[in-house]
Structure 1
Amino acid sequence: MNTDFHKLLFEVSEALVTDELAALKFLSLDHVPMRKLEAIQEPKAFFEVLQEKDMIEAGDLAFLRELLYRIGRIDLLAAHLGSSREQMERDLQVQGRAKVSAYRQLLYGIAEDLTPEDVKSVKFLLQKQLPKNKLQDNASMLQVFLEMERNRIIKEDDLTMLKDILKAFRADIKKKIDIYEEKKKELRYPVPVSVHPGEQGAEGKTTNLPVETYKMKNIPHGYCVILNNYIFNNPKYNRKGTVKDGEAVKRVFQWLQFETVEHMDLEAKEIYEKVKEYSKRDHRNMDCFVCFIFSHGEKQKIKGIDDEFVNIKDLVSCFSGSNCPSLAGKPKVFFIQACQGSVGHPAVAVEADFSGHLETDATPPTSIPDLADILIGMSTVEDYLSFRRTESGSVYIQCLCDKMELLCPQGVDLLTILTTVNEEVGGKEFKVWDQMPGGKLEKQMPQIITTLRKQLIFEIPQGQPIKE
């Protein structure tokens, strides 16, 4: 890594104080899960996480510039990043340039505008909604906002309670929220035509039709089954790092109120039998079924620990309407971390679930004819490798879990979440350590196959933050 880059981050970190670090963490919540940010106590660790998330790197410090601009550290912008307030104001007017959402900007601006007396008033009016220990005198307004978000008192598309609180003593700030909401209506997230069909208006504009949402009201919502192959009969195929994937999925789906169970090290026949077993269960009092499969693979196939293969199509077919009538009309979701071939996308030293340092995992189907209400999220497109870090888990599954932690509380549907995963994973480059000196750069492109007929939005339990 560039020495000058590290020196720059060190010098910036030395200039930041505790309150400024808290502000930077708050403004980064759209890109880094809260659980990671909560553990950070000093700026250097914060910058390390931003590097892990590919938000900053040598030669690309746009996000760092924006963060420093947002917290008013123009001196650091000028001294270390060669920018100015005027330059940043021009840059951030370019559509798509700003990485801090309008929602985060609004809340941070409100926190900055409130006087100490205002903050006391907000805490007083929240006594029935938040635990007393979260409203102590030393709790900052940003900390109060975080607790309000955890408890779903506020979210990006619902600031009603915050407006009700502020209108009594800060009508000027309440007005700012009104303006934000009006702009949000004008810039409402466009619905992809391929997912949510629309009609062409008189001037060629797309008129979006209302889209139903799958019911998600039972507790538990359904089974989340993890089939995780780590130790193979042939030790050279062992998949280091896959335990981390299992831990991440269990953490997220237990939080999402699924009955989550993991089965380790299955032969090909056992994979099929386990999937078939769950398809025969009674799902009448459940809303959904989720299955994660972590292993090696080839095109449209998953490898068991015995080096035999099972067809993805056969696994998915267990959940057709005729084979699993108690889930008919309900969403069935499969996530597959495995290679679909032995070719790397030509382009982090990581691994691919195939073999070697950067390990690879190959698999999934290209179509699911005659099967409705099924979504398959595949770590890579057909014929290509899928990468896994031996220390921290697979690139695709870890990114998926991070995005679900970030976006499920905002009511974002699964298809949109998976699209953000495609964008992030597809934008990375991976150094594969093979026969080439120093390794070679490859890329990975996940794929979504869906016959969902409605939006799939996972309900977040009231007042229940994600557990470590």
Structure 2
Amino acid sequence: MSTEFHKLLFEISEALVTEELAALKFLSLDHVPRRKLEAIHEPKAFLEVLQEKDMIGAGNLFFLKELLYRIHRIDLLTAQLGSSREEMERELRGRAQVSPYRQLLYGIAEDLTSEDVRSVKFLLQKQLPKTKLQENASMLQLFLEMEINGIIKEDNLTMLKDILQRFRADIKKKIDAYEEKKRENYSREEVRYPVSVSVHPEEKGAEGETAKQHGKIYKMKNIPHGYCLILNNHIFRNPRYNREGTLQDGEAVKRVFKWLQFETIEYMDLEGKKIYETIKEYSKKDHRNMDCFVCFIFSHGEKDKIKGVDDECVNIEDLVSCFTGTNCPSLAGKPKVFIIQACQGSVRHPSVAVESDCSGPLEVDASPLTSIPDKADILIGMATVEDYLSYRSRKTGSVYIQSLCEKMELLCPQREDLQTILTEVNNAVAKRELEGSKQMPKITSTLLKKLVFEVPQ
């Protein structure tokens, strides 16, 4: 990267103070994981993280401009980045990368006086621990704690309104205006489906029930329906870690998703950095003429991370975050599915005496996922719950993936939705005995509708 670009970032970082850094971190929470931001204590490190996340670059300074505009550093915006307040106001129409929710909370924090903040702390005594309500805690810090504890979220600001109504009704009205605008946007974007009306409305049956439920099903109208991306790590640089049986998993997934009319692509044996780059590449594609995105990841790993064949790790949260509505707008409102075959620890589930289903020696993988970004329209299916092993046959593939593919071939023609199918998979895998142990898969979902895969006639 150019010396001029680094010099520019250095000069901007030198001009920022502690309170402004806190504001920048807060405004960036939709783009950078919270735990990564918590580890940042000076502006240079913050700008470095934005570069790592591809949020800024030598030819891409829009997000940095927006951040400086939001924190009212128009002097830096003008002197260092050559933009005026008026130019930014024009550019931000329809292009803002800081969400209206973050803008609202930051604006409220700016409007509250020191006395107001003390009042908020007093009214939160039953909801937050005393250690979080210290005299030096800022309003932005309080908002962060309220989010962590589920007191406020993008679609639920009721408690914050109740608090502000007691002493700052003028600011409470700002939240009312935000919520009203949000409702207007939803009503404009709502998809309306034609509903057939029966001559005998009291009649019930398969067709009537389907029509009733149709508005709650994600649309599947395009061919192909979307990408099915498979990242399959088989041969590692250290041969001890080769994952025999994973080729069978890849073949099973390709068979099922080609049948379901997805554009199916498999990448083999990727290094850690390449895993992230590949996911990022697909998040930047134009998905406007597609209905869905599906990603399978098969590899080793460790807590919260997937390992590349070079033993380098990538955070699973970072991979999933590439597909939030902000980072991948052409998939906003459409389902994003991630299926991860990997362990989440080294503990074995105890087994009761049941007949063995195994047809050969089993191996384990190691890679966990303990949290996902709290974004809509994302489903993650994991081979096992936290801290436990998952199993893979060297001959026939992993227990979880093979069961999933079998259930999809059986239940998709019956128009069962994906969560129902995954629940069936959970049940099937949980019943099996795996070399004296058991395995319990896990589903984590923020889907807002049913995801039903259309089977070609």
- Inter-CA distance 116–212: structure 2 relative to 1 (3 Å threshold): farther
2:370 equivalent to 1:393? no
The 5 Å alignment of 1:170-181 reads 170-181=168-179
Cα 1:411–1:6 change in 2 (3 A) is: closer
Higher relative contact order (CA 8 A, sep 6+): 1
Equivalent residue for 2:104, pick from 81, 106, 114: 106
Q: State the AA in 2 paired with 1:199.
A: P
Q: What residue number does 1:149 align with?
A: 147
Deviations 1:387-427 (A, max 9, x none): 95957535987411676899966462315x99xxxxxxxxx
Report what 1:86 is aligned to.
86
Structure 2 partner of 1:59: 59
Q: Quote the offset at 1:311 in angstroms.
A: 3.5
Q: Which amino acid aligns with 1:399?
A: L
Identity of aligned residues (%): 55
Between the aligned partners of 2:155 and 2:417, the Cα distance in structure 1 is 24
1:17 matched to 2:17? The reply is yes
Helix, strand or coil for the counterpart of 1:157?
Answer: coil
Give runs of aligned pairs for residues 69-218 of structure 1, distance below 5 A.
69-93=69-93, 95=94, 97-188=95-186, 198-199=193-194, 211=216
Asked if the contact 2:272–2:308 (Cα under 8 Å) also holds between the matched residues in 1, the reply is no
| Secondary structure of 2:80's aligned partner | helix
1:334 corresponds to: none
Q: Is 1:77–1:84's contact at 8 Å kept on the other side of the alignment?
A: yes
Give, in angstroms, the shift of residue 99 of structure 1.
Answer: 0.1
Give 5+ residue unaligned stretches, structure 2: 197-211, 219-230, 258-263, 280-291, 299-306, 325-368, 382-408, 420-442, 447-457
- Rg larger in structure: 2
> Is this contact kept in 2: 1:33–1:406, CA < 8 A?
no
What SS does the aligned partner of 1:312 have?
Answer: helix
Where structure 1 has 5 or more consecutive residues not aligned to the other structure, the ranges are 202-206, 214-227, 240-263, 272-296, 304-309, 317-337, 361-373, 381-386, 419-448, 460-468
CA, structure 1 residues 199+2, in 2 after alignment: closer, same or farther (shift >3 Å)?
Answer: farther
In structure 1, what is the equivalent of residue 359 of structure 2? none
Q: Which is helix-richer, 1 or 2?
A: 2
Mean alpha-carbon deviation: is it higher for 449-458 or for 72-81? 449-458
Alpha-carbon shift at residue 67 of structure 1 (Å): 0.1
Q: Provide the aligned length of Structure 1 versus Structure 2.
A: 295
Bigger mean CA deviation after superposition, 83-92 or 98-107: 83-92
- Partner secondary structure for residue 198 of structure 1: coil
SS at match of 1:199: coil
- Closer, same or farther in 2 for the Cα pair 1:359/1:180, shift >3 Å? closer
* C-alpha contact (below 8 Å) 1:106/1:177 kept by paired residues: yes
What TM-score does the superposition give when structure 1 sets the normalisation length?
A: 0.53
Is the partner of 2:295 in helix, strand or coil? strand
**2:272–2:310 CA contact under 8 A, matched in 1:** no
Residue of structure 2 equivalent to 1:312: 253
Residue 134 and residue 413 in structure 1: after superposition, are their counterparts in 2 closer, same or farther (change >3 A)? Answer: same
Q: 1:311 is aligned with what amino acid?
A: A
* Residue 340 (1) aligns with residue 257 (2): no
- TM-score calculated relative to the size of structure 2: 0.54
Map of 1:3 onto structure 2: 3
Q: 1:189 to 1:101 in 2, by over 3 A?
A: farther
- Judged with a 3 Å threshold, the aligned counterparts in structure 2 of structure 1 residues 388 and 28 are, in CA distance, closer, same or farther, namely same
CA shift in 2, pair 1:127/1:359, >3 Å: closer
Deviations 1:267-293 (A, max 9, x none): 31xx6xxxxxxxxxxxxxxxxxxxxxx
**Are the structure 2 counterparts of residues 110 and 200 from structure 1 closer, same or farther at C-alpha, using a change threshold of 3 Å?**
farther
User: How far is 1:46 from its partner?
Assistant: 0.5
Code of the residue aligned with 1:267 in structure 2: it is E
Residue 296 of structure 2 is aligned to residue 378 of structure 1: yes
| Superposition deviation, residue 352 in structure 1 | 6.5
